[in-house]
Copies of this chain bind each other. A is one copy, B any other.
Amino acid sequence: MLSKNKIKYINSLKISKYRKLNADFFVEGTKLIAELLQSNFQISGIYATNEWLQENNEILKNTDCMEVDSKELMQISNLTTPPGVLAVVKIPDVSFEPLSLVGRLSLMLDGINDPGNLGTIIRTADWFGVSQIFCSPDTVDAYHPKVVQSTMGSIFRVKVIETDLMDVCQEARKNQVDVFGAVMNGQNIYESKLKGSSSVLIIGSESHGIRNHLLPFINFPITFPAYSASNTQNKTESLNASVATALILSEFRRKAD
């Protein structure tokens, strides 16, 4: 049985401040738990219903798990239909290492505040083999329950580092790492020379774009052009931030082949 204190503790992890204070977050659902168990993330506790345990015992192998009833799970879950299993996980202690910029493509997110968008970007980065993402301090916390759920497990594979993006930009310049930025009037990405290693790609928010203090570091301003046939009328289409990131990463990977 879950103690009152434990219920209170897990609920506190829905709030960014307490996640940071305790360096714990939580994940829910069979797929995410399976991915967690294949990762190096340190598990603080797993809570599952008897029903879930009977169906999914092979996933757990010998990992300790506390059996709870569905009422208890409802008290700690962040989902309207709790999927029968929840794990509390240590937030890994990662920091920015300048030399990690060399020899790979990294992503930098400036002020992305929608949890679903951030989760989808982490998932897409994983798909395209981008192994580290730098987030500005005002980007939504990567361990927010909604972010974690929408990564579909990629949170356990992609290194997400919250840091001052100016530092990253300065180190990129010092180490001859190219800085690409998705902007409004950059070079058409289809016609740009893209480089999938020793490069950083900066993505800004949909409403504000990349902020001014980062702009001077961009050596390669790029733009994803709208499909021309649709531009005959005075339309105001735009792309969702996670979709724009996916389309740009796809071009990086295509050109790198």
Contacts and interface: CB of A to CB of B under 8 A. Distances in A.
Interface residues of A, number: 32
Interface string A238-256: 1110110011001001100
Interface string A133-169: 0000000000000000010111001000000000000
A237 B156 CA distance: 11
Interface in A101-138: 116, 120, 123-124, 126-129
A190 interface: yes
Given A235-B157, A236-B153, A124 B230 contact: no
Contacts of A229: 129
A240 B236 CA distance: 25
28 contacts: A35-B236, A116-B116, A120-B240, A120-B243, A123-B238, A123-B240, A124-B240, A124-B243, A126-B237, A127-B227, A127-B230, A127-B237, A127-B238, A127-B239, A128-B227, A128-B230, A129-B229, A129-B230, A152-B238, A152-B240, A153-B236, A154-B237, A190-B254, A227-B253, A242-B242, A242-B243, A243-B246, A246-B246
A195 B33 CA distance: 41
B240 A129 contact: no
Contact of A240 (B150, B153, B247): B150
Contacts of A152: 238, 240
A116 to B, nearest CB: 5
A226 interface: yes
A227 B226 CA distance: 24
